[in-house]
A = this chain, B = another copy of it.
Amino acid sequence: MSRKKAQVELLQELEDAMRRSSAQGVLYGQTVANVAGIANSDLECMDILYLEGRVTAGRLAEVTGLTTGAITGVVDRLEKAGLVRRERDEKDRRKVFIAVVPDAAMKIGQFYVPMQQAMEKVFGGYSDEELRLLLRFANEGYKGVLAATEALKGLLDTPPEKRPALKLKTRPRQP
């Protein structure tokens, strides 16, 4: 045992707190989709487009885990709503780039204002050095979650009986 009891508890608290805030983050997203009047996956794709810029339909399918057929539907709806445009790649005419229509970023962005304000308020309680620590953690956390997602996807290709037994460290929770 290299960890003291207090630290194990700290880590458990941390895990729960992150899980809780992440769950609430999901709910915020659902609410945005509701208010904006678009489907959840549609908003998810808008978010990817915001973060990655112009991407192909296939990449959207890859990142969201949806089938290409489903993405066709997503893009159809977003295009009809005037939020994105299809742009055929002139180099490879099989590809279709999806690009956010300039004004659309703001139409959707406004619904993130309450979140930004709340976060600004929270960030206000931290020094620059502490904020840099949070940034470092956010970046490392992203990489960790990405890796974990890949690891978990790997299980999908493995038949259940051949899966390496996962040692479970969570204890059942008392309500």
The 8 A CB mask of A152-172 against B (1 = contact, 0 = none) is 110110000000001111101
CB neighbours (8 Å) of A126 from chain B are 137
Chain B interface: which of A21-29, A68-76, A77-85, A88-96? Answer: A21-29
Which residues between 119 and 175 of chain A lie within 8 Å of chain B, taking CB atoms?
119-123, 125-126, 128, 130-135, 137-142, 144-149, 151-153, 155-156, 166-170, 172-175
The binding surface of chain A is classed by DSSP as helix
Partner of A24, one of B14, B149, B151: B149
| Given known A20-B142, A51-B16, contact A113–B168 (CB-CB < 8 A) | yes
B26 lies within 8 A of A118 (CB): no
- Supposing A14-B131, A173-B53 touch, asked if A145 and B115 sit within 8 A by C-beta, the answer is yes
| Contact, CB under 8 Å: B117 / A148 | yes
Question: Are B152 and A111 in touch, CB under 8 angstroms?
Answer: yes
For the complex, give the distance between the alpha carbons of A21 and B149 in Å: 12
3 nearest CB pairs, A to B? A53-B175, A118-B144, A17-B138
